[in-house]
A and B are shown apart, each in its own frame.
Chain A
Amino acid sequence: MSAETVSVSGWGRTAPTSARIVRPRTYEEAAEAVLGCGARGGIARGLGRAYGDAAQNAGGAVLDMTGLDRIRTIDAQSGTVVCDAGVSLHRLMEVLLPLGWFVPVTPGTRYVTVGGAIGADIHGKNHHVSGSFARHVTALDLLSADGAVRTLRRGEPLFDATAGGMGLTGVVLRASVQLLPVETSLMSVDTERAADLDDLMSRLAETDHRYRYSVAWIDLLARGSALGRSVLTRGEHAPLDALPDRARRDPLAFRPGTLPAPPAFVPEGLLGRTTVGLFNKLWYRKAPRSRSGELQRISTFFHPLDGVPHWNRIYGRGGFVQYQFVVGYGAEGTLHRIVRRISERRCPSFLAVLKRFGSADPGWLSFPVPGWTLALDIPAGLPGLGGFLDELDEEVAAAGGRVYLAKDSRLRPELVGEMYPDLGRFRALRAELDPRGVFTSDLARRLAL
């Protein structure tokens, strides 16, 4: 097993720390790695798409799980796959789409591992219909601090602690995932524009239930009467008969293209208010006022940013922060206030996304609760950003909402217990199963999880 000490950071490239990277290639090697973690413990890491410090462990071990990348069995009749934790959703799509199956939940990137998807209990554009990723996991194998492997089934306490548990209950080694049948690899997409935030929220509230996938992109730099202007894209897997003749010859093709990556060094401040404001304006203007049934590729609809490898470099060396929170239905006033405050502050954010969540997921630290979730990227170097986001946190917490741990890199530790009421139970379980605190991360240290 190779091991080297390197500097590790999250996708946002803030707060790097150094850790010993261990790359197990078998379950036995993973157990060996956990037993040999040392005093500062270890944490599993997948493809490093968590924005903050969830998969970092300063001075300790980080288990690079991408070496455990075997798909074990596929049942093409019932639509279940059993695979190692290091298998990416990209790989699953490559293998499963030709068989007529799709992953049950995909986030905005395909480059996450199954283990990471469980650890962060990720959600996608279909949360209002399908819930989070772990809801579709029927069983998983978890490597514990003592080196033993437990098979957990949905509904068991440790399963629910592990779903969304940020890797702190152990290392997921393999999982059985229930898939979604599809006839084609294309999406049938309806696009519409909303003139302002009220318009957007009423459109989403009234018609979301008609779509399996729904998301809105908001221009957070728009002001005044245009505050909250957005583009809604909602869709469904296209049925075979919706495809033109040529596409029907190979309806399940999956060939996402990629553009060249930005250079390793990008000057900071490239994404200022002017450039981002202009980009947002163009994006809004180029979107059709209303268009339905457009056929889009899976990569275009779900993962536009995956087309640019290392897109996180565009924020320069200082990196960026992604802020994602959810407030429940009934707290629309809070959402309004926060959107207005972000707009008034002129945060150069060009990737703000608003979505409605469905019912809450069973994971103790799972992020989604029924309500509105907003996600935005902000360059970390923006002066006063720390204090500003703290103020937003207070509003979110006061409304009974929470921020997403998989994206967090800056939450005030005192608030995490308020936002996640099951945290006490989670801590107690960890203390019982892992008294020496073998599984730990920078996130866990920072927030005392």
Chain B
Amino acid sequence: MKDAFGTPQSLLVLGGSSEIALATARRLVARRTRTVHLAGRPGPALESAAAELRDMGAEVHTHAFDALDPDRHEEAVGKLFTEGDIDLALLAFGILGDQERDEGDPLAAVRVAQTNYTGAVSAGLVCAAALKRQGHGSLVVLSSVAGERARRANFIYGSSKAGLDAFAQGLGDALHGSGVHVMVVRPGFVRSRMTAGLREAPLATTPEAVAEAIEGGLRRRADVVWVPGALRWVMSGLRHVPRPVFRRLPL
């Protein structure tokens, strides 16, 4: 069960080797979390994440999970909920793709969309149904400011996050009053493996800062969390910039 501050005792991470997810898990394990399920692509990244959390004293289980295989989501994810309540499910998987290359390779672009959007729709609905049955819990969805307004430089990734963001908001409304809380997290540019080598955007942040914001959002039972918080105001301004101007902005 979550405590008065929204800190979970059990955590499920989908996308178990995500740096943001791992930073969040570390933070939560340092508080109340004792059971962690890491679901992701089997491999050394997942195992080393598990080992790190185990060293902190958590009981960690790893599970194979593939966002691109929604046929198996019910089986792979749904069954985890039957072994005990899960207080927090963190949807953290996603790929950035390579915009320039993907524009000329529709199949690669579709892979970005399927991982970030349809994969999350399927896994999100499986989690939502299970959380609703247990009558409590949070579903935290890692969106991105890139989904707030599509930009020339990364609209394939951005559109997938836009879809995910809209989906998660709607899901939150659908689950309102069911005891289940859905929180959309919109980080800006996060310095991580995923963005290594990219030009850093203004208001760049770190996985640790995102983790801290998630913990704060859980405490407030927030619907949306921006990281850093200032992005909320920046983006609400950018949203209203006319297209011809927006197109020319060096974003």
- Residue numbers of A with Cβ under 8 A of B are 5-7, 12, 14-19, 40, 52-53, 57-60, 317-319, 321, 380-381, 383, 385-387, 409-410, 412-413, 442, 445-446
Residues from chain A with Cβ under 8 Å of B221 in the complex: 317-318
Which residues of the partner chain B approach A5 to less than 8 Å between Cβ atoms? 178
- The number of residue pairs between A and B whose CB atoms lie closer than 8 Å in the complex comes to 79
Task: State the CA gap A318–B5 with chains docked (Å).
Answer: 9
In the bound complex, what is the Cα–Cα distance between A442 and B3 (angstroms)? 10
Q: Within the complex, which residue of A52, A58, A318, A386 is in contact with B179, where a contact is CB–CB below 8 Å? A: A58
Closest 8 CB pairs of A and B: A59-B135, A18-B179, A58-B135, A58-B136, A409-B4, A14-B4, A17-B136, A446-B1
A58 to B5, CA, bound (A): 17
The answer to whether A59 and B136 have CB atoms under 8 Å apart is yes
Task: From known contacts A409-B4, A442-B136, A446-B3, infer whether A381 and B220 are also in contact, taking CB-CB under 8 Å.
Answer: yes
* 13 residue pairs bridging A and B, Cβ less than 8 Å apart: A6-B177, A7-B177, A12-B4, A15-B1, A17-B1, A59-B135, A318-B219, A381-B219, A381-B220, A385-B5, A386-B7, A410-B4, A445-B85
Which residues of B lie under 8 Å from residue A412 when comparing CB positions? 32
Bound CA span A60–B7, Å: 21
Partner of A17, one of B3, B179, B216, B219: B179
In the complex, what distance in Å separates the CA atom of A121 from the CA atom of B211? Answer: 40
With both chains docked as a complex, state the minimum distance between the C-beta of A81 and any C-beta of chain B, in angstroms.
Answer: 35
Q: Chain B nearest CB: distance from A325 CB in Å?
A: 16
Interface flag for B134 (CB, 8 Å):
yes
> Beta-carbon contacts of B113-157 to A below 8 Å, as 1s and 0s?
000000000000000000001111000000000000000000000
Contacts of B85 in A (CB 8 A): 58, 445
Task: Using CB atoms, name the residue of chain B closest to A386.
Answer: B5
B54 contacts the other chain (Cβ, under 8 Å)? no
A58-B136, A380-B219, A381-B220 known; A18 and B177 CB under 8 Å? yes
Min C-beta distance of B5 to chain A, whole Å: 4
Known: A381-B220, A387-B31. A60 touches B135 (CB 8 A): yes
Contact A59 B179 (CB under 8 A): yes
Contact check, B219 vs A18: say whether CB atoms are below 8 A apart.
no
Contact flags (1/0) for B173-199 with A, using CB distance below 8 Å?
A: 000011110000000000000000000
CA distance A57 to B3 in the complex (A): 14
State whether the Cβ of B2 lies closer than 8 Å to any Cβ in chain A: yes
Q: How far is the CA of A12 from the CA of B3 in the complex (A)?
A: 12
Best-buried of B3, B31, B177 by chain A (most CB within 10 Å)? B3
Query: A443: nearest residue on chain B (CB-CB)?
Result: B1
B1, A386: Cβ atoms under 8 Å? no
Please measure, in the bound complex, the distance between the C-alpha atom of A22 and the C-alpha atom of B95, giving whole angstroms. 47
**Which of chain B's residues have a CB closer than 8 A to the CB of A18?**
135-136, 177-180
Q: Which residues of A contact B2 (CB under 8 A)?
A: 15
Q: In the bound complex, do residue A410 and residue B135 qualify as a contact, i.e. CB atoms below 8 Å apart? A: no
Q: A31 to B178: give the CA distance in the assembly, Å.
A: 26
Contact A58 B3 (CB under 8 A): no
A412 to B178, CA, bound (A): 26
Question: Roughly how many angstroms separate A293 CA and B135 CA in the complex, as a whole number?
Answer: 52
Contact residues in B for A385 (Cβ distance below 8 Å)? 5
Q: Is B42 an interface residue (CB 8 A)?
A: no
CA distance A59 to B1 in the complex (A): 12
**A16: contacting residue among B31, B179, B216, B219, CB under 8 A:** B179
Q: Give the docked Cα–Cα distance between A52 and B135 (Å).
A: 17
CB B54 to nearest CB in A, in angstroms, measures 18
CB distance from A414 to the nearest CB of B (A): 9
Please tell me if the beta carbons of B133 and A59 are within 8 angstroms of each other in the complex.
Answer: yes
Known: A380-B219, A445-B1. 10 other contacts (CB 8 A): A14-B3, A14-B5, A17-B1, A18-B136, A18-B179, A18-B180, A319-B4, A380-B4, A386-B219, A387-B31
Question: CA–CA, A400 to B23, complex, Å?
Answer: 35
Interface hub of A6, A383, A385, A445 (most chain B Cβ within 10 A): A445
Q: Indicate with 1 or 0, residue by residue over B1-25, a CB within 8 angstroms of chain A CB atoms.
A: 1111111010000000000000000
A27–B4 Cα distance when bound, in Å, is 34
For the complex formed, measure the closest distance between the CB of B6 and the CB atoms of chain A, giving whole angstroms.
7
Q: Which residue of chain B has its CB nearest to the CB of A8?
A: B179
A59 lies within 8 A of B134 (CB): yes
What's the minimum C-beta distance from B224 to chain A, rounded to whole angstroms? 15
Distance of A224 Cα from B2 Cα, bound (Å): 37
Cβ–Cβ contact A53 & B1, under 8 A: yes
Within 8 A of A (CB), among B49-90: 85
Given A6-B177, A15-B1, A387-B31, answer yes or no on A58-B220 (Cβ-Cβ < 8 Å). no
Contact residues in B for A7 (Cβ distance below 8 Å): 177-179
Query: How far does the Cβ of A367 sit from chain B's closest Cβ, in whole Å?
Result: 18
Chain A residues with CB under 8 Å of B31's CB are 386-387
Contact yes or no, A318 B220, CB < 8 A: yes
User: Smallest distance from the beta carbon of A299 to chain B beta carbons, Å?
Assistant: 29
Chain A residue with the shortest CB-CB distance to B85: A445
Please indicate the chain B residues that have their CB under 8 angstroms from the CB of A16 in the complex. 179
B89 → A minimal CB distance (Å): 15
**How many angstroms between the C-alpha atoms of A445 and B134 in the bound complex?**
12
* Cα(A387)–Cα(B30), bound, Å: 10
Closest B-chain residue to A13, C-beta based?
A: B4
Q: Would you give the shortest CB distance from B134 to chain A, in whole angstroms? A: 5
CA A18 to CA B131, docked complex, whole Å: 11
For the complex, what is the distance from the CA of A442 to the CA of B220, rounded to whole Å? 19
Q: Nearest Cβ distance between residue B81 and chain A, in whole angstroms?
A: 11
Give A445's nearest chain B residue, CB to CB: B1
Question: Of all chain A residues, which has the CB nearest B176?
Answer: A7
A80 CB to closest chain B CB, in angstroms? 39
Most buried by A among B6, B7, B31, B135: B135
A383 to B218 CA separation, bound complex (whole angstroms)? 12
Distance in angstroms from B250 CB to nearest chain A CB is: 36
User: Which of the listed residues B4, B9, B32, B219 has the most CB atoms from chain A within 10 Å of its own CB?
Assistant: B4
A143 CB, min distance to chain B CBs, angstroms = 23
A15 surroundings in chain B (CB, below 8 A) = 1-4, 6, 136
Q: Shortest distance in angstroms between A38's beta carbon and chain B's nearest beta carbon?
A: 11
Contacts of A58 in B (CB 8 A): 1, 85, 134-136, 179
